[in-house]
Amino acid sequence: MPGCFLPPHFLRVLSSTGNRRHSCTSPHFAFLQTVSLLPPSTAISLKRQQAAENRRDAILNGQLRRQIMVLAIPTLTQQFLTFCVGMFDTWLAGQIDAAATTAIGVSAYVGWLAGLLVSTVSIGTTALVARHVGANEPDQANRVLGVSMLVGQLLCVCMAGMLYLTAPLFVSSFQLTGTTQQVALNYLRLDAIGHVLTGATLVGSAALRGAGDMKRPMAVLGAISVLNMLVSVALVYGVGPESTLWFPVTVVGPQGVYGIAGGTVAARLAGGVIMLAVLFRGSEPIRLQPSLLRFDRAIIGRLSHLGRYAGLDSIINWCGQFTFLMIIRRVVVEGVHDDAVFAAHVIGIQVEAITYLPAIAWGSAAATMIGQSMGAKKLKRAYHAGLEATAQCCVLGVLVTIAFFFGSQAIYELMHTDEQVVRVGVPAFQAMSWFQVPLIILLVLRVALQGAGDTRWPMLATVVGIFCLRLPGAWFFGVYLQMGLLGAWTGMFFDIIFRCLLMSWRYLKAQWLRIKV
């Protein structure tokens, strides 16, 4: 079994077993026959190593279309469960009041910052792990994991403290007043606590995906998504003899909107602990070893080389989106209260996250295929992987477009009880439906390029798209011309089209195939 991770003496045993007269000529049969003679712990270890080798071989040599789907579907499942959490939280807030929905929206944007900062490490982790696994260098991949985990976790601990302390600044920047201001402030501070272990979850998932293991991240993140929803509903309505969730004794009283934050915090902390347990146990060839949790200048330098543009991209993107949100807050629609416009925007963006589900899933599949193929010097396969992933995902994009356009009224009526929110949101959401396929092309190719180590061009696209198109367009059409939420979203539409065209041009030019990491 060339390229296998097994020790040489086991390879000799397998070879000799396969040549025995009474055995099958299949190498797989010989492997199973040999494993059956070993102690249980050794046999399990060998089976894991063989599974990792089979996974690597399928990624590098299997039928391209099938392998893209095999890699994408577990991530799509995980993304769907995460999306359900966001939708469920927004729905819960909508059953309380518009102030609760506003708090959810502000928290989503602020909490997004922590994930973006960790992405400066996780993007580099995926690219490096994929290259090393593709080149059959598992020891180097594990060194990258150890360093990335340490750096990513330190970033998140610092970020959690910063978000807690600066929560009043974020709230004041949205010009919130009265009850809405207090609810948003308390919600942000509770939410910040949950980011303490975000680094472990995101970096661990990035490393596993780089190695081609999509199922374990799906299992961990899927489990915490379910936990999030269960804990949130229990805390929002309470559990006891007089609560909506009946129980003979009082377990917890109704916490209202703060119960949603409590569910999020519980799920994030549990996710970090579970991911660390999975990594310490190991998923061949990836295993988190305590001895490798140390700073390594060479690896940090490689991560910094990949992450400097990704980090700038993340910060620029967040600043642009945060500014976009403040512009939305200043949009005035005659006869509609301010919270209604903002709530309509929050619901629209939350529902549009459906488009991100397949885009991120197929983009992650392309990034894994591209990284490992480039590590194995299979550049033609790397190039076609991104094109195949984009084509598959665009089919889903057409279905999303149809569902958004014809289902906009039903979606808003389901998500909020305020008629003004529905009236403002439906026309804008119908217009947004026509831009879902360009958005998918942009997202898939962006993630694919980052998986190849090309992080500079996505950053440049973000700078131009957001600061030259999205923000000026949102202010001009939404605030100056007073075209409401649809006017503000017009700037977003220009941004999506521009970045879609630029990412397509960059990918098709194929200069990224020469990038070294």
pLDDT in tens, 52-100: 677 778 888 889 999 999 999 988 888 888 778 877 877 777 777 767 7
pLDDT > 70: percent of the chain: 88
For residues 228 and 92, the answer to whether their CB atoms sit within 8 Å is no
Of 283, 268, 299, the C-alpha closest to 200 is 268
Q: What are phi and psi of 407, to 5 degrees?
A: -105, 10
φ/ψ region of 136 (left if φ > 0, alpha if ψ in -120 to 50, else beta) reads left
Please state, in angstroms and rounded to a whole number, the distance separating the CA atoms of residues 256 and 89: 12
Q: CA geometry: angle at 385 spanning 383 and 386, to 5°?
A: 80
State residue 255's pLDDT score: 79
Beta strands in 184-248 (DSSP E): 239-240, 245-246
- Token representation of residue 441: 């092309």
Please state, in angstroms and rounded to a whole number, the distance separating the CA atoms of residues 165 and 186: 12
Angstrom distances, CA of residue 171 to CA of 99, 294, 426? 13, 37, 27
Please state, in angstroms and rounded to a whole number, the distance separating the CA atoms of residues 443 and 437: 10
State residue 491's pLDDT score: 94
Count Cα atoms within 13 angstroms, Cβ side, for 490: 18
Please state, in angstroms and rounded to a whole number, the distance separating the CA atoms of residues 33 and 18: 9
Over the chain, what is the mean pLDDT?
83
Of 328, 308, 310, 306, the C-alpha closest to 318 is 310
Of 491, 452, 499, the C-alpha closest to 474 is 491
**Which DSSP category does 455 fall into?**
-
State residue 41's pLDDT score: 55
Banded pLDDT at 385 (limits 50, 70, 90): very high
Question: Is residue 286 helix, strand or coil?
Answer: strand
State residue 43's pLDDT score: 56
| pTM of the predicted structure, to 2 decimals | 0.75
Whether 182 shows a pLDDT value over 70: the answer reads yes
**Where is average pLDDT lowest: 108-112, 196-200, 490-494?**
108-112
87-121 burial string, b = 16+ CB within 10 Å, else e?
Answer: bbbbbbbbebbbbbbbbbbbbbbbbebbbbbbbbb
For residues 110 and 190, the answer to whether their CB atoms sit within 8 Å is no
Please state, in angstroms and rounded to a whole number, the distance separating the CA atoms of residues 46 and 68: 26
> Which of 107-121, 173-187, 351-365 has the highest average model confidence (pLDDT)?
351-365
State the average pLDDT over residues 464-483.
Answer: 94
Please state, in angstroms and rounded to a whole number, the distance separating the CA atoms of residues 111 and 105: 10
- Token representation of residue 370: 């591209």
User: What are the pLDDT digits (tens) for 328-339?
Assistant: 988 888 878 777
Locus of tokens 């041009």: 505
Whether 472 shows a pLDDT value over 80: the answer reads yes
Whether 22 shows a pLDDT value over 70: the answer reads no
Whether 143 shows a pLDDT value over 50: the answer reads yes
Please state, in angstroms and rounded to a whole number, the distance separating the CA atoms of residues 126 and 112: 20
Of 226, 212, 221, the C-alpha closest to 278 is 221
User: What are the pLDDT digits (tens) for 417-446?
Assistant: 788 889 999 999 999 999 999 999 999 999
**Which DSSP category does 291 fall into?**
G
